[in-house]
């Protein structure tokens, strides 16, 4: 994170593109877009239509909404949150594969994880990928990649990262970030109150914003920073002050997104 200077503009602060949400899960689009803005993005593009696009504009009217990803100027993509591979259209699949074969880093979540596994088996140019599965999604990804189950989460994450040639962020109370070169970073910054629907969509937006703002940074290190920032925002939202014995209180995903600026302000003091 850095304080924008006099020479910065909306593009230099990072342009995030999100192709997320669906008619069934429009809220995922809203949460990811909200988090990208709150994490400091200078420009956020949302690619989608219908209920999801309407919900995004109703919540964040400064977002630029379009119906096609091809040709969109972005520094990082977030795809898959709030989508289901089983209901993906041919056009959606084509666009997602184009994003995955581009040059900009891509945060791959939920309904797009299967495509990341498929792309891993193909030759040719491919974007830097950051996969963000939760436990059940990770188990499905392991089966798709033909990997044996491993009781040690770090070893399992490394094996999957090597198989895909990507950075793996395995969500959990102890989040594991594994790079394809075998490096592992563990992040324990959150709270049990974070285990609620939609917080993964918020994490995707945070990661997209950090990747777009730091184009030359190591993806694994950006992923760890994003996981830490997300966890700290959850603690702040739950009323847990670092160093205290407060147990906190229930939160919803939007609370986490709205707490991000305060955590960033503390970092920049």
Residue-wise pLDDT for 195-210, tens only, equals: 999 999 999 999 999 9
7 within some domain: no
5 within some domain: no
88 within some domain: yes
269 within some domain: no
Residue 62 neighbours by CB under 8 Å, 6+ apart: 37, 44
Enclosing domain of residue 84: 15-239+248-261
Within 13 Å, how many C-alpha atoms sit on residue 135's CB side?
Answer: 8
9 within some domain: no
- Is the pTM higher than 0.85? yes
* 3-state SS assignment for residue 176: strand
CATH code where residue 107 lies: 3.40.1190.20
Please count the structural domains in the chain: 1
pLDDT in tens, 57-76: 999 999 999 999 988 999 99
Checking if the pLDDT of 256 tops 90, the result is yes
Query: How many other CB atoms are there within 10 angstroms of residue 172's CB atom?
Result: 16
Which among 68, 20, 42 has a CA at the least distance from the CA of 215? 42
pLDDT band at 149 (very low <50, low <70, confident <90, very high): confident
pLDDT at 147: 93
């Amino acid at each position: 994170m850095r304080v924008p200077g006099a020479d910065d503009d909306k593009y230099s602060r990072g342009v995030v593109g999100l192709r997320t949400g669906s008619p069934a899960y429009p809220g995922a689009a809203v949460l990811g877009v909200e988090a990208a803005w709150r994490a400091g993005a200078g420009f956020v593009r949302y690619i989608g239509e219908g209920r999801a696009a309407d919900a995004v504009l109703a919540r964040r009217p400064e977002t630029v909404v379009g119906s096609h990803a091809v040709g969109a100027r972005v520094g990082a993509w977030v795809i898959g949150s709030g989508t289901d591979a089983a209901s993906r259209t041919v056009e959606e699949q084509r666009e997602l594969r184009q994003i995955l074969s581009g040059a900009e880093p891509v945060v791959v979540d939920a309904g797009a994880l299967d495509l990341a596994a498929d792309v891993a088996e193909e030759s040719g140019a491919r974007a830097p990928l950051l996969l963000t599965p939760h436990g059940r999604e990770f188990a499905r990804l392991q089966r798709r990649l033909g990997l044996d189950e491993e009781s040690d989460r770090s070893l399992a994450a490394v094996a999957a990262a090597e198989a895909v040639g990507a950075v793996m962020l395995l969500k959990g109370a102890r989040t594991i970030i594994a790079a394809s070169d075998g490096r592992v970073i563990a992040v324990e910054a959150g709270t049990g109150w974070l285990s609620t629907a939609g917080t993964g969509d918020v994490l995707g937006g945070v990661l997209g914003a950090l990747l777009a703002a730091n184009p030359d940074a190591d993806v694994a290190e950006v992923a760890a920073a994003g996981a830490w920032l997300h966890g700290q925002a959850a603690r702040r939202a739950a009323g847990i002050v670092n160093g205290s014995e407060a147990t906190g209180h229930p939160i919803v995903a939007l609370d986490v997104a709205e707490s991000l600026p305060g955590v960033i302000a503390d970092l920049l003091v």
